[in-house]
Structure 1
């Protein structure tokens, strides 16, 4: 299920984690060659990614897309 990014934080290992509109979180690593996400390495890149969508692996097809749930 596609969900919009609403913000970011770093976990205890300093990896970037996206906050999704559904209330779930998802790591967004730049780890070539598997994950090429150079945008995550800069503040400007992360800011530009707010509002774009990621596939939420925790949301099922029955879940509403909004408003945001905070778990």
Structure 2
């Protein structure tokens, strides 16, 4: 299920988590070469992604049960 990014926060390990409109979160790690998201390291980059739609795996799982 698609949900918009409404904010970001840091988890206990210092990784950014996208806060989704549904209340769930999704990690947005910059961990090359596996995940290349340098935009997450700056406030400007994160702000540019506000409103971007992601697939929420937790919502999808809840929908199918």
* TM-score in terms of structure 1 length: 0.79
Runs (4+) off by over 6 Å: none
The 3-state SS of whatever aligns with 1:18 is strand
Return 5+ residue gaps in structure 1 as ranges.
64-71
SS in 1 for 2:48: helix
Aligned CA RMSD, in angstroms, stands at 1.6
Alignment partner, residue 30 of structure 2: 30
TM-score relative to the length of structure 2: 0.86
Deviations 1:21-65 (CA, angstroms, capped at 9, x unpaired): 1110111001112211111010000000000011111012885xx
**Ranges in structure 2 where 5+ consecutive residues have no aligned partner:** none
* Matches for 1:40-51 after TM superposition, within 5 Å: 40-51=40-51
